[in-house]
Amino acid sequence: MPMKRAVVLVSGGLDSATTLAICNRDGFEPCALSFDYGQRHKIELQAAKRVAASLGVREHRTAQIDLRIFGGSALTDEIPVPKVRDEKNTSDIPITYVPARNTIFLSYALAWCEVLGAADIFLGVNAVDYSGYPDCRPAFIAAFEDLAGLATKAGVEGTRFRIHAPLLEMSKAQIIQKGLELGVDFSLTHSCYDPAADLIACGTCDSCRIRLEGFHEAGQEDPIPYATG
Amino acid sequence: MPMKRAVVLVSGGLDSATTLAICNRDGFEPCALSFDYGQRHKIELQAAKRVAASLGVREHRTAQIDLRIFGGSALTDEIPVPKVRDEKNTSDIPITYVPARNTIFLSYALAWCEVLGAADIFLGVNAVDYSGYPDCRPAFIAAFEDLAGLATKAGVEGTRFRIHAPLLEMSKAQIIQKGLELGVDFSLTHSCYDPAADLIACGTCDSCRIRLEGFHEAGQEDPIPYATG
């Protein structure tokens, strides 16, 4: 019997790498889905490819989505990250917050599930995220599962879609520990919001800081090089 | 006091033109959203622009989305329309059915709502659609409203998102009558799945047939030219 397939959202970061490893552990054949939607995509998407390949993913698709068409001036108040990689380029657009982002991401994942005949979606949101973003909360995830059942032919025919968010209650340190336990090579992942021209992580932006604190708390060494620190 | 804005999905067809006119009638300032996602987009999107302009829309955005990345072979069984405009071009992709299409469309609309500070989305699905597509049913629409409240900062802060589907229970003839009553110029709309090289509607595909029957039943003449009939 072939393995059940699952769609896994893979960004190239720590969290989605661990989520992908958990999907493997849980006995699914992961189909990786990445999104090309903004400033950091080149680096992130390269990391996503490396991570997916290293964890044995055979199907990896990248969806081009351009949410910048909606403009962003109304969103700047919500930018949690002070650094923007390319300041020439639509500086109003927040680098980590995109309106309704997870709704859009999960919609694409659902579309691919329907094509694959899959019922499972893995998403690497975690406690750090859901303290800040409404579309990372358990209630949002449950509502999307309900919607998925109503939105699709498979759902109407009885498929119960499941959104797996295995990191939801985990700290960054716990995510790192779990990833290492499952064989994730974190040297392949990318987290920095503001890498230097040689793509070396800055070590000082919010994302680098959270990552470094996570490794420190986990009692592990971060295998990627940093420009500072 | 400025008018409340609403996001209206505008495809360039009959139904969304009438929906846009209803949005105007209901006292909203419509912001039109179209999608460039497939074979028919060039003609459809031109029609969408004409329709939006004719109904006084000041903000019209077109989102580029490429759902073909997911492939389509698993979907071919579900194609309700026998004609494909460009047979050279990924003939497996169904012309009217896209998996999770309305979920994706509404997700984008929700993103734009969040930027605009709007709470209302107008969608031209109707009884003909929802007899065939799961994501046109009232239960789907209600589930998306619930999701929207959970997915957004505005929702968390108390905004009650509303998905207006004013055509839901209407026949094609009723939609045409309502549109005419509200001043829609149906000569600007496009419905044909298989237009000739000069973009004249074929008059024989499913979409032309449903449209022509609707005008006939409404006792009206369709203002667009047809290649046959």
* pLDDT single digits (tens) B9-58: 999 999 999 999 999 999 999 999 999 876 556 788 999 999 999 999 99
Please determine, for the modelled complex, whether the ipTM score is greater than 0.90: no
The whole-angstrom separation of Cα A11 and Cα B172 is: 44
- pLDDT level of residue A100 (50, 70, 90 thresholds): confident
* HSE toward the beta carbon, residue A133, CA cutoff 13 A: 19
Nearest Cα residue in chain B from A31: B70
Tokens describing residue A203: 């070590």
CB B97 within 8 A of CB B78: yes
Identify the residue among A110, A129, A147 best suited for mutation to test binding to B, counting B beta carbons within 10 A and taking the highest.
A147
The whole-angstrom distance between B69's CA and the closest CA on chain A is 7
Average pLDDT of the segment spanning B59-81: 64
- pLDDT level of residue A196 (50, 70, 90 thresholds): confident
CB A220 within 8 A of CB A176: yes
The whole-angstrom distance between B177's CA and the closest CA on chain A is 29
Q: How high does pLDDT run on average in chain A?
A: 85
> Which of A104, A112, A156 comes nearest B70 by C-beta?
A112
CB A42 within 8 A of CB A62: no
Cβ partners under 8 Å of residue A80, min gap 6: A94, A96, A97, A132, A206
Give contacts of B 27-86 with A, CB under 8 A.
61-67, 69-72, 74-75, 78
Percent over 90 (pLDDT), chain A = 62
Tell me what pLDDT residue B41 has: 60
> Which of B66, B75, B102 comes nearest A63 by C-beta?
B66
Least-confidence region, from A17-21, A80-84, B19-23, B89-93: B89-93
User: Is A94 a residue whose pLDDT tops 90?
Assistant: no
Least-confidence region, from A99-103, A175-179, A196-200, B43-47: A196-200
- pLDDT level of residue B222 (50, 70, 90 thresholds): very high
Q: Does this model's pTM top 0.90?
A: no
- pLDDT level of residue B173 (50, 70, 90 thresholds): very high
Tell me what pLDDT residue A160 has: 96
Tell me what pLDDT residue A95 has: 43
Structural domain boundaries of chain B? 5-191
Nearest Cα residue in chain B from A138: B150
The superfamily (CATH) of domain B5-191 is: HUPs (3.40.50.620)
